[in-house]
């Protein structure tokens, strides 16, 4: 790349992304690998930002999120996916784009504009989450029932047969009562995200992330118990004994389902 062009690109990049700094030799190699010797200045300025993000520059990451994550909100709006799906998509994309040994932001090659690239990534993630969220529960009914009332257990199998609807509705209601943040945490744990990864994503101490997760599990357990008392109590004289029996398995069931 001619030195004049290089100087122009760096000047434009510094103006576009104040406070974002990438060593000249590092950026030159990054740019050459993607656009060769005659780069489009507009794409080169965008690649300057993605190069900095891939290197873990917090100022660059903040600038990227401020300018381009609006595409996530727009994708959620177009898909009619709701605020919780949009929030989950933001967190998932932030983790995949900017963390790990090979952040996916580095896969942007500059062959099109960065906003269009982000628009595609945002819509893909929103649609994936929206499909998952249509169930409106974290875990399908059969997996929940198998963990809570194993069919092979005669006594619990009978409870499952008699109160299947009440059991699954209680769990679904409990999940719906969680905050968006708590639902996201439980989904992430179900997807295999570790406490350490959650702490890094939210920039908090590991103990804080562990407490958030414990609070989410407790909220599910306690709300499920309350719903069972309300629904089973209305249809069975044996409500107290059934609720005690099922409640004693809720912790074990959640641990099995969520990998705890």
**Which residue is associated with the tokens 């504009």?**
113
**C-alpha pair distances (Å), 16 with each of 23, 45, 64, 78:** 17, 8, 11, 29
pLDDT digits (tens, 9 = 90+) for 95-113: 999 998 889 999 999 989 9
The pair of structure tokens assigned to 58 is 């917090």
- Average pLDDT (153-179) is 79
Are residues 77 and 30 both part of a single domain?
Answer: yes
Rounded to whole angstroms, the Cα distance separating 115 from 170 reads: 43
Domain boundary among 81, 102, 133: 133
Q: Of 2-11, 167-176, 189-198, 249-258, which gets the smallest average pLDDT?
A: 249-258
Looking at the fold, whether 7 and 102 belong to one and the same domain comes out as yes
Query: Which range of residues forms the domain containing residue 244?
Result: 141-258
- Does 90 lie in the same domain as 162? no
Residue with tokens 């000047």: 11
CB atoms closer than 10 angstroms to residue 99: 16
Last residue of a domain, one of 133, 166, 184: 133
Same domain, 235 and 197: yes
Same domain, 8 and 129: yes
3-state helix, strand, coil in the chain (%, to 5): 75, 0, 25
User: What pTM does this model have?
Assistant: 0.55
Looking at the structure, do residues 149 and 126 belong to the same domain, yes or no?
Answer: no
Task: Pick the closest to residue 47 from 9, 97, 18, 19 (CA basis).
Answer: 9
| Mean per-residue pLDDT, 120-141 | 74
Instruction: Check whether residue 104 and residue 191 sit in a common domain.
Output: no
The residue from 110, 133, 156 where one domain ends is 133
Reported as a single tens digit per residue, the pLDDT across 16-70 is: 999 999 999 999 999 999 999 888 999 999 999 999 999 999 999 999 999 999 9
Total of domains in the chain: 2
Contacts of 237 (CB under 8 A, 6+ apart): none
Between CA 18 and CA 22 the distance in angstroms is 12
**Residue-wise over 161-171: b if at least 16 C-beta within 10 A, else e?**
eebeebbbbbb
**Are residue 56 and residue 79 in the same domain, yes or no?**
yes
Least confident segment among 94-98, 174-178, 238-242: 238-242
Is the domain of 33 the same as that of 94?
yes
> d(Cα 224, Cα 257) in Å, to the nearest integer?
15
């Amino acid at each position: 790349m001619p030195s004049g062009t290089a100087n122009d690109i760096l000047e434009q990049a510094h103006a576009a992304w104040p406070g974002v700094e990438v060593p000249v030799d590092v950026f030159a190699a990054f740019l050459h690998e993607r656009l060769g010797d005659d780069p489009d200045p507009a794409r080169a300025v965008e690649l300057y930002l993605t190069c900095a993000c891939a290197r873990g520059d917090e100022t660059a990451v903040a600038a990227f999120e401020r300018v381009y994550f609006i595409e996530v909100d727009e994708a959620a709006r177009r898909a009619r996916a709701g605020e919780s799906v949009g929030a989950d998509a933001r967190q998932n994309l932030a983790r995949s784009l900017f963390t790990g040994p090979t952040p996916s932001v580095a896969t942007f090659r500059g062959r099109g504009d960065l906003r269009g690239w982000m628009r595609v990534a945002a819509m893909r993630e929103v649609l994936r989450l929206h499909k998952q969220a249509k169930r409106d529960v974290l875990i399908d009914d059969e997996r929940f029932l198998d963990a809570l009332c194993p069919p092979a257990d005669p006594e619990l199998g009978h409870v499952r047969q008699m109160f299947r609807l009440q059991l699954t509705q209680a769990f679904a209601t409990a999940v719906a009562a969680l905050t968006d943040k708590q639902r996201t945490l439980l989904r992430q744990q179900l997807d295999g995200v570790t406490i350490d990864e959650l702490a890094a994503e939210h920039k908090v101490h590991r103990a804080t992330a562990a407490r958030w997760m414990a609070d989410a599990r407790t909220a599910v357990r306690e709300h499920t118990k309350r719903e069972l008392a309300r629904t089973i109590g209305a249809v069975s004289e044996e409500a107290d004994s059934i609720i005690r029996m099922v409640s004693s398995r809720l912790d074990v069931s959640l641990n099995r389902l969520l990998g705890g």
